[in-house]
Structure 1
Amino acid sequence: MMAGLRYFKTIHVFHVLLYCVLFGSVAMHAVPKDNKLLLFLLDGFRWDYFDRQEINLPGFRRMMREGARAEYLLPDFPSLSYPNYYSIMTGLHCEDHGMVGNYMFDTKHNESFLIGVNRDQYHAYWWDDGEPLWVTAEKQGKRSYFYSWPGCEVTIRGVDPTYCKKYPMLSYPKLKDMQAAIAEGLELFSNGSADVVGIYVELPDKYGHKYGPSSAKLNQKLEEIDAEMDKLLDELESRDLRDDVNIMIFSDHGMTEVSETRVINITDYVDIEDIRVVLDAGANVYIWPNPGKLDKVYSDLVAMDNPYLTVLKKADIPDRWYYRNHYRTSPILLVAANGWYITTPLLPRFFSYFGSGPMQGTHGFDNNETDMQGIFLATGPDISQNVVVKGFANIHIYQMMCDVLGLTPNQNDGQWDAVAGVLTHKRISSATSVVVNVTMVIVMAVFSLIRLSI
């Protein structure tokens, strides 16, 4: 009798364990599969370029019908390239990731970050306060390929992407570079080599600066980019990849008109002997006064009494900019009103393009200015279709990129409520789901054994 009871209990335990394993397996398979991700960073693509009546953008329109679009994408302050490249890819505000300008001075290392002109910008300490998507991906066994993407050539937190095509330092990426990167990326997805591919496209920014955001020459470039997007969708279908690859397109900032008639020249109001470092020109200027000269330099600048210039000590930088609380933020910050341009003793002239005259457009202003807002557009198996969501800040993109790749995101400033409706689902990452389900199996089995032993 006792032997028969033990046999019954053994069979019952086996059935319980089998049930738990099957239940755990079903739960794990309920989690959506890890799909591929193709990223486009369209530098300087303003939020309203999509809606221009004078140009035809069938590729982007097709993506909108088949995907989700934000009304606008809010950049971090300052609305410049490098700060927002990194806010997008880390999900952090500038004061958290430390990329506080296109031009920076680091008082701890006594070095400057000057984009495109010095090697110091590739030192890891400029970048290590944040963890960009490719580092998160590589840490979790995914393979990342980035093309002309600023920062991908830097070893960040000891990690490199699987592949980085460096930005061409003596030029800038042209349309042919975009075309080549798309072709190579699609082949990498087809043969299973890549999980995430990122392509940087500078053309909207270059043409917006050079000819202005309302120019016919910029419109022509937008149509050329659009044509490549239309071809991309066709190629994904021909390769049978539409159900496996998500596309996310975003920009770092917008663009506004400037002219030589709207210039703020601070040269006559400051004594250069009072200043240790002054960097940049245009929408923002950063000043590190010599020891004991902070109040004097500040007072001299305030005395200009220019209604188009805001002069701020670091402590007075608005909370809403999420910019004040990093040691690289300069002791004095100058911010021009939208469309105005600041010149300095070191950069006393309005910027001009050789052979084409004065610059016609720029950015960097208060990120609440409408012209500074960018774009977010996505399509693919994990993206809602024919949806327009409210505008959101670019720090919220990182978590979505991680989600569709099945990654556990690094700590970030993003919030899911801000991007509700973009994805068809929000999930726990694959790795976390496996742990949860295996733990559930073990707990249920142990609980059943305890019951049977009573």
Structure 2
Amino acid sequence: MAMCTLAFVLTLAHGIIVCAGEPSGNTTSPRLILVSFDGFRADYLSSYSLPKLQEFIEDGVLVREVKNVFITKTFPNHYSIVTGLYAESHGMVANTMYDKENNRIFRPDNFTAKTDPVWWNEATPIWVTNQCAGRRSGSAMWPGTDVKIQNVTLTNFLPYDASVSWEARVNNITSWFTRAEDPINFATMYFHEPDHTGHVYGPEDKGNMSRMLGIIDKNIEYLVSKLKESKLWDTVNVIITSDHGMAQCSQDRVIALDNCIGRENYQLVDSTPVAAILPLKGGDHGYDNALHSMHPFLAAHGPAFHKNFKMGTINSVDIYPMMCHILGLKAEPNNGTLSNTKCLLVDQWCVHLPEAIGIVVGGILALTTITCVILMLKKKVPSPRQFTRLQFQDDDDPLIG
């Protein structure tokens, strides 16, 4: 009994310590919405018509490719985005996990398992840090937001339910921002497409992917219009990104595990490319995070961001320190680098590396050219004259005939 009481006190104390000594809520805190469209491959931006997303980008910033973490699956990457940690550091290493010591399995389709804090407590996501700073957070179905992490529960959240419309999700988020009492200043949003369509048909199925991406584009249009209607558009920062890309499956590119090791010598825990199951037609992810097909993108708009600015790449773990900077939060130890995102932010001095290299190389070439011209001019010798007249003292004397 004494041990149980001690355990309860320690757990309670941990929750108090995490958020101790922080100020009460502040309605003037910077505001941010983080949006993820699952499985939105980076090159969809150039391969498909997305006029509303392009308008969003033109009025803000674009990172053409975000290098995500391995394995390129939903739960590891969504947790990396909000913690700034690699999977081996935050502990969410796959969509399905098996704890051999305690004989526990984590599965997204098992509510009890996926909401057990033991799987999530190796890291502190940004919404916990935000709330420990005396602010309030909300979420529409972002992985982990329905879990009590570090003994902190999200102020407002919608548990995952794919049947809830995008419009309903947006309406809830905007209402939490604009309510008179205890408004939130940070929110996350998750939408399960175009991942599902990519799995079923593959990213190279132009017809079906075009249809779904058209829906995504309308979703972005609705989000922007609702923010404008709620008078949030000019004051709230919005980041749109994804967890991973999508690759076309092929039965011609298969490593048959049973040809390498007997089935009795292993246990299949997860049905991913890493587990080497036989793929069907369609698309999949989970492959090497160095592959461009696995990379998502990032677009952002708001008072913290430049307008009409584009850059090549960042790491997904860089998003976390950037968000902490925008919100004025002290970041937890992480694997990200704020300097990688400085060029996106209006309050940061930045030298864009490609432009800087171009300026330096151009300057060197110009100096080299000028130096060569000067040396050539100095070494130039006047051409000799055909006749040379010598001046003598008696040249002026008359000739004697």
Question: Shorter-chain TM-score: what band?
Answer: 0.7 to 0.9
In 2: Cα distance, 1:108 partner to 1:68 partner:
46
| Greater fraction of residues in strand | 1
Identify the range of structure 1 (33-42 vs 387-396) with the bigger mean alpha-carbon deviation.
Answer: 33-42
Structure 1 residue aligned with 2:246, among 235, 238, 255? 255
Change (3 A) 1:118 1:179: closer
Give CA deviations for 1:299-341 in whole Å, capped at 9, x if unaligned.
xxxxxxxxxxxxxxxxxxxxxxxxxxxxxxxxxxxxxxxxxxx
| Long gaps (5+) in structure 1 | 1-32, 286-341, 344-348, 351-357, 428-454
- 2:102 alignment partner in structure 1: 109
CA shift for structure 1 position 236: 2.4
2:32 counterpart of 1:37 = yes
Structure 1 residue aligned with 2:92, among 87, 96, 99? 99
**Contact map agreement 2:314 2:340 (CA 8 A) in 1:** yes
Alignment root-mean-square deviation, CA: 1.9
2:394 counterpart of 1:399 = no
SS of the residue corresponding to residue 248 of structure 1 reads strand
2:232 counterpart of 1:241 = yes
Superposition TM-score, scaled by structure 2 size: 0.75
2:202 counterpart of 1:230 = no
Structure 2 residue aligned with 1:414, among 336, 346, 363? 336
In 2: Cα distance, 1:378 partner to 1:46 partner:
16
Structure 2 residue aligned with 1:220, among 211, 214, 222? 211
**Aligned ranges for residues 302-317 of structure 1 at < 5 Å?**
none
In 2: Cα distance, 1:64 partner to 1:227 partner:
15
SS of the residue corresponding to residue 149 of structure 2 reads coil
SS of the residue corresponding to residue 366 of structure 1 reads coil
Give CA deviations for 1:121-143 in whole Å, capped at 9, x if unaligned.
32212111111111111111121
**Paired letter, 1:142:** R
Change (3 A) 1:426 1:137: farther
Matched residue pairs, number?
319
Structure 1 residue aligned with 2:46, among 47, 51, 54? 51
**Paired letter, 1:255:** M
**Aligned ranges for residues 81-96 of structure 1 at < 5 Å?**
81-96=74-89
**Paired letter, 1:184:** N
**Paired letter, 2:239:** M
**Contact map agreement 1:403 1:426 (CA 8 A) in 2:** no
In 2: Cα distance, 1:386 partner to 1:57 partner:
16
SS of the residue corresponding to residue 255 of structure 2 reads strand
2:260 counterpart of 1:265 = no
Superposition TM-score, scaled by structure 1 size: 0.67
**Paired letter, 2:227:** L
In 1: Cα distance, 2:106 partner to 2:231 partner:
44
CA shift for structure 1 position 228: 2.3
**Aligned ranges for residues 45-444 of structure 1 at < 5 Å?**
45-52=40-47, 55-117=48-110, 119-168=112-161, 173=162, 177-192=165-180, 193-215=183-205, 216-275=207-266, 277-285=267-275, 342-343=276-277, 350=279, 358-426=280-348
In 2: Cα distance, 1:423 partner to 1:183 partner:
28
**Paired letter, 2:124:** E
| Long gaps (5+) in structure 2 | 1-27, 350-401
In 2: Cα distance, 1:39 partner to 1:118 partner:
24
Larger Rg, first or second structure (1 or 2): 2
**Paired letter, 1:191:** R
Change (3 A) 1:262 1:199: same
In 1: Cα distance, 2:336 partner to 2:300 partner:
18
**Paired letter, 1:190:** T
CA shift for structure 1 position 253: 0.5
Identify the range of structure 1 (226-235 vs 35-44) with the bigger mean alpha-carbon deviation.
Answer: 226-235
SS of the residue corresponding to residue 187 of structure 2 reads strand
**Paired letter, 1:264:** I
Give identity over the alignment, percent: 31
Give CA deviations for 1:64-101 in whole Å, capped at 9, x if unaligned.
11111102011101111111011101000111111111
**Contact map agreement 1:242 1:381 (CA 8 A) in 2:** no
In 2: Cα distance, 1:127 partner to 1:210 partner:
30
**Contact map agreement 1:70 1:376 (CA 8 A) in 2:** yes
Change (3 A) 1:267 1:426: same
**Contact map agreement 2:139 2:173 (CA 8 A) in 1:** no
